[in-house]
Structure 1
Amino acid sequence: MSPSWMSRSRGKTDELDAPLNASEKRSYLSRQSKTFWMLLVAGIFLLIIAIGLGIGLGVGLSGGSSGDDSGGGGGGGGSSTPIPPNNNTNVTAGEYWKPAPGTSWQIVLQTPPTDTSLNVSVYDIDLFDNNASTISTLQAQNRKVICYFSAGSYEPNRPDSSNFTKSDYGKELKGWPGEHWLNTNSTNVRAIMSARLALASSKGCDGVDPDNVDGYDNDSGFSLSPTTAVDFLSFLAIGAHSYNMSIGLKNAGAIVNATVDFLQWEVNEQCVQYEECDLFQPFIEAGKPVFHIEYPDSAPSISSSARNSVCDDDEAHGFSTVLKEMDLNDWMEDC
């Protein structure tokens, strides 16, 4: 019972003008007692309903957000609220590479690749750390080249980092000192990303791998949501496709269904470890690859049982799975 209700009850009694005899007092008190208990029961009933609604709304609002804030691998970020597909026809316009499920691949981000003898069809390499010659050499070997950059975080050592303003970036990514989440709704951030797409095109990249688009699933310091992430990826896709480059989704399981129609692949980290590979199956069902990475603790020395636990995972059926060390050097073992 709230204190304000109790004070109003006392105030009503104080407003009586005439004195009452004993019989009237008993009758009055009886009526007051009945009224009191009726209001008490009604108040408790309403309180129970309010608590039930509050719990239900709380579950609905918090469902599906891990708050992982890892900034690294994993964390598909499933959502209980489906995001509708993007209906912007401009987002798929253009002629660009469309890889098929099961396409073999390698990813090397620590340094430019030094061992290109692997029999794979795709290399995913860093946009800034590789020059046009490295890309053209890989393409001459009948490989497609995906160029990686972080679209959703500020990295202080990139050549264009001075172009960001302090209002563009927010909280630090946990485990990545100096790297901060970006406000992907910022006009300046989007201008910088447009310049990165132009750079990728000038170097001859066949596609781009924009990382950290799942700021909505982390403590970024900004009001980001799955809907704003889909809008940002639509912006990036229109830009990439205008240069005849493909573009994929990185992790971000909550927005798979909303982006699978206009993105050409998924790059996922650790869905077997986090038991969420089912989130990314829509890409396979749409005839698009899931480039999948797991980081076994014992890598590069992997037991057959550890390998089989990854490669035989039912939910990752059809994925292009590779086993890597966390620093994403040249070492790789595939399934």
Structure 2
Amino acid sequence: MWIRPRRHVAVRPLRRVLSAGVALLLVVPAYGCRPKLTPPGAPTAWPAASARTWQWQWQLSGPLDPTVEADVFLLDPVVTTTEQTNDLRSRDRRLICHVHVGSVRAADPDASRFPDIVQGSTGRRPDSRWLDVRSWDALKPVLADRFRLCRGKGFGAVALADADGYASRTGFPLDFDDQLLFNRRLAELARSLSLSPGLVNDVPQLAALAPDFDFVVNEECVRLGQCAKLLPFVDADKPVFHVEYAISTDEFCVTTVGYGFASIRKDRRLDAWREACPLP
């Protein structure tokens, strides 16, 4: 806002005023055009217009490489530090927190909070056990704190891993509807904590859960012949973050980018290395 100077204040020479004005014009666009950074704990927005143009990185092991040319980083909330998330966010990166919601490992910091009665058969990960997702009252407080850890470290989204135990031998008589209810409860819980919810895999339920979740992370839909089942998210202009491990990008990129996926190739250990598909 321009304020007229009082009469007793000497007005600067016109040349000095013009010089200051030119300097202001040079500085303001560089600062004012910078996208507004979402504050810590606010849910990540996924603009529909960008649904087919994201570049992403998934790193759960090894030293974090923040220089990867990606818009979206999917990271482990326990080993990732606040300093690292602050650095990524300062460069307008979107951060997704990788949280196991259907299993627990003995080494997890909160493992003792899960009662023995809700821990079942050996899970997918070494030294892990499946959880009884029907026991919402027992699981909710612990999972809520896992989500709060994500929010406290500056993540704006959460990806739910092991959210498909009904399709495995968990030691519990879980069925399709038990898992649907659990996953919808988790999506609602994430939103209540200002986090954008996403699913990792759970391909058979994607059509039913597309209205409840903001994005999906998929492993090896090309190798497994499941890519068409991810289209409900594409049709809703929601991101599909897709990775292949055993197939070269020359073999799958044309297909998956054509579907509208954000596709990369990774090693199964999910370290910093990645090979991204070119954007359409």
TM bucket normalised to smaller:
0.7 to 0.9
Give how far 1:165 is off: 1.6
- Residue 212 of structure 1 pairs with residue 162 of structure 2: yes
What is the number of equivalent residue pairs in this alignment?
232
Q: State the distance in 1 between where 2:256 and 2:273 align.
A: 25
Gaps of 5+ in 2: 1-41
Which of 294, 310, 319 pairs up with 2:261? 319
Which of 255, 263, 275 pairs up with 1:333? 275
Q: State the distance in 1 between where 2:103 and 2:96 align.
A: 19
Give how far 1:316 is off: 6.4
Query: What amino acid maps onto 1:183 in structure 2?
Result: D
Q: For residue 116 of structure 1, give the secondary structure of its aligned residue in structure 2.
A: coil
- Tell me if the contact between 2:199 and 2:215 (Cα under 8 Å) persists in the aligned partners: yes
Q: For residue 313 of structure 1, give the secondary structure of its aligned residue in structure 2.
A: helix
- Residue 136 of structure 1 pairs with residue 78 of structure 2: no
1:104 corresponding residue in structure 2 = 55
TM-score, with structure 1 as normaliser? 0.66
Query: What amino acid maps onto 2:129 in structure 1?
Result: H
Kindly report which structure 2 residues correspond to 1:1-335, keeping only aligned pairs within 5 A, or say none: 96-99=44-47, 100-102=50-52, 103-113=54-64, 115-174=65-124, 176-186=125-135, 187-296=137-246, 306-313=248-255, 317-335=259-277
Query: What amino acid maps onto 1:180 in structure 2?
Result: R
Q: After the TM superposition, list the runs of 4 or more consecutive aligned residues in structure 1 that deviate by more than 4 angstroms.
A: none
Query: What amino acid maps onto 1:251 in structure 2?
Result: N
After superposition, the Cα gap between the structure-2 partners of 1:112 and 1:264, relative to the gap in structure 1 and judged at 3 Å, is farther
- Tell me if the contact between 2:46 and 2:239 (Cα under 8 Å) persists in the aligned partners: no
Q: State the distance in 2 between where 1:127 and 1:206 align.
A: 12
Bigger-Rg structure (1/2): 1
Give how far 1:326 is off: 0.4
After superposition, the Cα gap between the structure-2 partners of 1:182 and 1:219, relative to the gap in structure 1 and judged at 3 Å, is same
After superposition, the Cα gap between the structure-2 partners of 1:269 and 1:95, relative to the gap in structure 1 and judged at 3 Å, is closer
1:74 corresponding residue in structure 2 = none
Give how far 1:243 is off: 2.2
TM-score, with structure 2 as normaliser? 0.78
Q: For residue 106 of structure 1, give the secondary structure of its aligned residue in structure 2.
A: strand
Query: What amino acid maps onto 1:322 in structure 2?
Result: I
Q: State the distance in 2 between where 1:173 and 1:230 align.
A: 19
Give how far 1:177 is off: 2.8
Give how far 1:136 is off: 1.2
1:84 corresponding residue in structure 2 = none
After superposition, the Cα gap between the structure-2 partners of 1:133 and 1:314, relative to the gap in structure 1 and judged at 3 Å, is closer
Q: State the distance in 2 between where 1:124 and 1:328 align.
A: 10
Q: State the distance in 1 between where 2:130 and 2:142 align.
A: 15
Give how far 1:190 is off: 2.0
Gaps of 5+ in 1: 1-93, 298-305
Q: State the distance in 2 between where 1:106 and 1:328 align.
A: 9
After superposition, the Cα gap between the structure-2 partners of 1:132 and 1:315, relative to the gap in structure 1 and judged at 3 Å, is closer
Q: Percent identity?
A: 29
Query: What amino acid maps onto 2:130 in structure 1?
Result: W
Q: For residue 251 of structure 2, give the secondary structure of its aligned residue in structure 1.
A: helix
- Tell me if the contact between 2:210 and 2:232 (Cα under 8 Å) persists in the aligned partners: yes
RMSD: 1.8
After superposition, the Cα gap between the structure-2 partners of 1:112 and 1:183, relative to the gap in structure 1 and judged at 3 Å, is farther
